Structure 1
Amino acid sequence: MTSYPPGRPAWVDLLSADPDEARRFYGELFGWTFEIGPPQAGGYTMCLLRGEPVAGIGQSTSSPDGFPAPPAAWTTYLAVPDVEAAVQNVEQHGGTVLIGPLDILDESRIAVAADPTSAVFGLWEAKLHVGSRIVREPGAPCWHECLTRDSEAAVAFYVDLFGYETERLSGFDYTALRLGGEVVCGVYGDAPSDEPPTWATFFAVEDADKAAHRVMTLGGSVLREPFESTYGRVAAVLDPEGAAFTVLQLRPETT
Structure 2
Amino acid sequence: MTVNDSPWPAGVPAWADITVPDLAAAQRFYGGLLGWEFSQGRPETGGYVTASVDGRRVAGLLPASDASADDPAAWCLYLAVDDVTLAAEHAVAAGGQLIAGPMTVLGLGDIAVLADPVGAVFGLWQSGTHTGWDVTDVPGAFVWAEQMSQHPDVSRRFYTELFGYEQTDLSAPDFTYTSLAVGGSPAVGVGGYGAGVGADVPAAWTWYVAVPDVDAAARRVPEVGGSVVSGPEDTPYGRLVLAHGPAREVVALLEQPPADVPA
**Shared fold (TM-score greater than 0.5)?**
yes
| Residues 226 and 245, structure 2, Cα contact 8 Å, conserved in 1 | yes
**Alpha-carbon offset, residue 68 of structure 1:** 6.3
User: Which of residues 231, 235, 244 in structure 2 aligns to 1:238?
Assistant: 244
Q: Check whether the contact 2:25–2:225 (CA below 8 A) recurs between aligned residues.
A: no
Flag structure 1 segments of 5+ consecutive residues without an equivalent: none
Q: Secondary structure at the match of 1:184?
A: strand
Q: Deviations over 1:65-105 (max 9, x none)?
A: xx764211111100001111111001100000101112211
Shift of 1:184: 1.0
Q: How big is the shift at 1:59?
A: 2.1
The corresponding residue for 2:76 is 75
- Corresponding residue number in structure 1 for 2:133: 132
Equivalent residue, structure 1, for 2:215: 209
Aligned CA-pair RMSD:
1.5
Q: Which of 18, 31, 44 is matched with 1:14 structurally?
A: 18
TM-score (norm 2): 0.92
Residue type matched to 1:234 in 2?
A: L
SS in 2 for 1:245: strand
- C-alpha displacement of 1:254: 8.4
CA contact (8 A) 1:204 1:249 kept: yes
Corresponding position of 2:176 = 173
Q: Which residue of 1 aligns with 2:9?
A: 5
* Count of paired positions: 252
Q: Give a deviation string over 1:91-131, Cα, whole Å, max 9, x none.
A: 10000010111221111111110100000000001100110
Contact preservation (8 Å) 1:52, 1:133 = yes
- TM-score, normalized by length of structure 1? 0.95
The answer to whether the 8 A contact 1:61-1:69 is kept is no
* Separation (CA, whole Å) in 2 of partners of 1:62 and 1:38: 18
What is aligned with 1:190? 193
Distance in 2 of aligned mates of 1:231 and 1:179: 19
Please list every run of at least 4 consecutive aligned residues from structure 1 whose deviation after the TM superposition is greater than 6 angstroms: none
Distance in 2 between the 1:254 and 1:240 partners?
Answer: 36
C-alpha displacement of 1:134: 1.0
Instruction: State yes or no: 1:250 paired with 2:256.
Output: yes
SS at match of 2:135: coil
Contact 1:176 1:185 in 2 (8 A): yes
Unmatched tracts of structure 2, length 5 or more: none
> 1:68/1:139 Cα in 2 relative to 1: closer, same or farther (>3 Å)?
closer
SS for the counterpart of 2:150 is coil
Q: Contact between 1:9 and 1:76, CA under 8 Å: does it hold in 2?
A: yes
Q: Report SS of the residue matched to 1:118.
A: coil
